[in-house]
Amino acid sequence: MENVRTRFAPSPTGYMHIGNLRTCLYEYLIARVNDGTFVLRIEDTDQERYVEGAMDAVFNTLALTGIGFDEGPGKEGAYGPYIQSQRRNLYKEYAVKLVESGHAYYCFCTKERLDSLKTGDSQLGTSFNYDRHCRNLSKEEIEANLKAGVPYVIRQKMPVDGTTTFSDLVYGDITVENKTLDDQVLLKSDGLPTYNFANVVDDHLMKITHVVRGNEYLSSTPKYNKLYEAFGWEIPTYIHLPPIMKDAHQKLSKRNGDASFLDLVDKGYLVEAILNYIALLGWSPGGSEEFFTLAELEKAFTLDGLSKSPAIFDIEKLKWMNGEYIRRMSPKAFLEAAKPWLTEGLGEELAADEAVLTKIAGLVQPRTVILSDIPERISFFGNLPDYDTVLFCHKKMKTDEENSLVALKELLRFFQNYKGVWASNDLYGEICGLAGTIEMKNSQLLWPLRTALSGRDVSPGGATELAEILGQTETIRRIEIGIDMLGG
How far apart are the C-alpha atoms of 109 and 154, rounded to whole Å? Answer: 11
Give a yes or no: residue 351 inside a domain. yes
Which CATH number goes with the domain that contains 456? 1.10.10.350
Give a yes or no: residue 292 inside a domain. no
Same domain (yes/no): 96, 234: yes
Instruction: For residue range 339-366, list pLDDT tens digits in order.
Output: 999 999 999 999 999 999 999 999 999 9
Residues of the domain holding 38: 5-74
pLDDT at 321 over 70: yes
pTM (predicted TM-score): 0.89
pLDDT at 1 over 70: no
End-of-domain residue from the set 222, 241, 260: 241
Same domain (yes/no): 103, 68: no
Give a yes or no: residue 460 inside a domain. yes
Check residue 252 and report its DSSP letter: -
How far apart are the C-alpha atoms of 200 and 208, rounded to whole Å? Answer: 10
Percentage above 90 pLDDT, the chain = 84
Reported confidence tier of residue 57, pLDDT bands at 50, 70, 90: confident
CB–CB of 210/30 below 8 Å?
Answer: yes
444 compared with 1, residue with greater pLDDT: 444
Catalytic residues: 254
Reported confidence tier of residue 124, pLDDT bands at 50, 70, 90: low
Give a yes or no: residue 422 inside a domain. yes
Instruction: For residue range 85-98, list pLDDT tens digits in order.
Output: 899 889 999 999 99
Give a yes or no: residue 437 inside a domain. yes
Mean pLDDT of the chain: 93
Same domain (yes/no): 58, 107: no
How far apart are the C-alpha atoms of 295 and 67, rounded to whole Å? Answer: 10
Instruction: For residue range 257-269, list pLDDT tens digits in order.
Output: 567 898 999 999 9
Instruction: For residue range 4-29, list pLDDT tens digits in order.
Output: 999 999 988 777 889 999 999 999 99
Look at the chain and report how many structural domains it folds into.
4
Residue 40's H or E segment, with its range, is: strand 37-40
Give the β-pairing of 237-241 and 244-245: unpaired
pLDDT in the model for residue 127 = 64
Q: What is the mean pLDDT of residues 47-58?
A: 78
Same domain (yes/no): 59, 181: no
Same domain (yes/no): 46, 90: no
Name 162's Cβ contacts closer than 8 Å, sequence gap at least 6: 177, 178
Same domain (yes/no): 345, 460: no
Same domain (yes/no): 362, 391: no
- Report which residue type is found at 133: H
Nearest one of 261, 275, 203 to 29, comparing CA atoms: 275
End-of-domain residue from the set 374, 408, 434: 374
Same domain (yes/no): 370, 388: no
Same domain (yes/no): 360, 393: no
Same domain (yes/no): 94, 22: no
Which CATH number goes with the domain that contains 127? 3.40.50.620
pLDDT in the model for residue 372 = 96
pLDDT in the model for residue 432 = 96
Same domain (yes/no): 237, 142: yes
Q: What is the mean pLDDT of residues 376-395?
A: 96
N-to-C CA span, the chain: 83
Instruction: For residue range 220-261, list pLDDT tens digits in order.
Output: 999 999 999 999 999 999 999 999 988 878 887 666 656 789
pLDDT at 122 over 60: no
How far apart are the C-alpha atoms of 359 and 381, rounded to whole Å? Answer: 12
Q: What is the mean pLDDT of residues 288-300?
A: 95
Give a yes or no: residue 271 inside a domain. no
Same domain (yes/no): 58, 125: no
Give a yes or no: residue 298 inside a domain. no
Give the β-pairing of 185-187 and 244-245: unpaired
Give a yes or no: residue 145 inside a domain. yes
End-of-domain residue from the set 74, 104, 123: 74
